[in-house]
Each structure stands twice: as structure tokens, then as C-alpha cells.
């Protein structure tokens, strides 16, 4: 089964993986309901609902990154996100300038995290 993999580029946190067959959207933020949750104390630049990764269409491997009006902004490969931006394997998403960064990837079940 193919999956979306978000690898945290700092700290010892394990990657977050999401099955592609059921993928609709991933919310990033400090909200307890967020798909990828961050801590208020250690990740102070992250908003409650900071950003979202959405799948474009119901098939295929096209994704977009959306900023959810986060106070500190969302960055894609060091460029601030204003509108939804296409997201590709290997892209780096950063939550706030100097905030936590994640690498977006796609992998098959035969690949290891």
C-alpha cells in the first residue's frame, strides 16, 4: 500500500505515515485533533491549525500545501505560502520561519520509513 510520509527534520520524532488509499487531508498544528500535532511549549511558532496538505483528485499522486492563516506563516522550500501550492516528493514544509520542518515524501509498502 502506498503512503504519504512526513519526515521530521529536527528532533528524534518518528516519521508520520498516512495510507494513500484513505488519504484526503493532513492538518498540521497544535490542535488535539490535528493529524500531525506539535507541542505548545517546544513548538511555539506553530499555530493551533497551521497548515493542511490536501490530495488533488481522488486518484494519482498530486498534492497541495495550504496555509491556514497561521500567524507565523507556512513555508515551502523556504518560500512563504500565500495560496495553495503544489507539493512534490522531497519538498520541505516549515511551520513558521525557524519553526519545525518536515520533508514530504511518497513511498510504497516495500520501501522502509
In a domain? residue 110: no
Span 60-66, average pLDDT? 91
In a domain? residue 111: no
Q: In CATH, what number is assigned to the domain containing residue 82?
A: 2.60.200.20
pLDDT exceeds cutoff 90 at 17? yes
Judged by DSSP in three states, 21 sits in: helix
For the chain, what is the domain count? 1
pTM of the model: 0.90
Span 15-42, average pLDDT? 93
Distance CA 93, CA 5 (A): 12
Closest Cα to residue 20, out of 66, 71, 58?
Answer: 58
Amino acid at each position: 500500500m502506498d503512503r504519504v510520509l512526513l519526515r521530521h527534520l529536527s528532533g528524534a520524532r518518528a516519521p508520520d505515515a498516512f495510507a494513500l488509499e484513505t488519504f484526503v487531508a493532513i492538518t498540521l498544528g497544535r490542535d488535539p485533533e490535528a493529524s500531525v500535532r506539535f507541542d505548545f511549549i517546544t513548538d511555539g511558532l506553530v499555530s493551533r491549525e497551521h497548515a493542511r496538505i490536501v490530495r488533488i483528485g481522488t486518484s494519482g499522486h498530486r498534492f497541495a500545501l495550504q496555509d491556514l492563516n497561521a500567524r507565523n506563516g507556512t513555508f515551502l522550500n523556504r518560500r512563504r505560502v500565500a495560496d495553495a501550492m503544489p507539493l512534490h516528493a522531497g519538498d520541505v514544509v516549515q511551520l513558521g520561519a525557524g519553526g519545525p520542518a518536515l520533508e514530504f515524501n511518497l513511498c510504497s509498502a516495500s520501501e522502509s520509513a
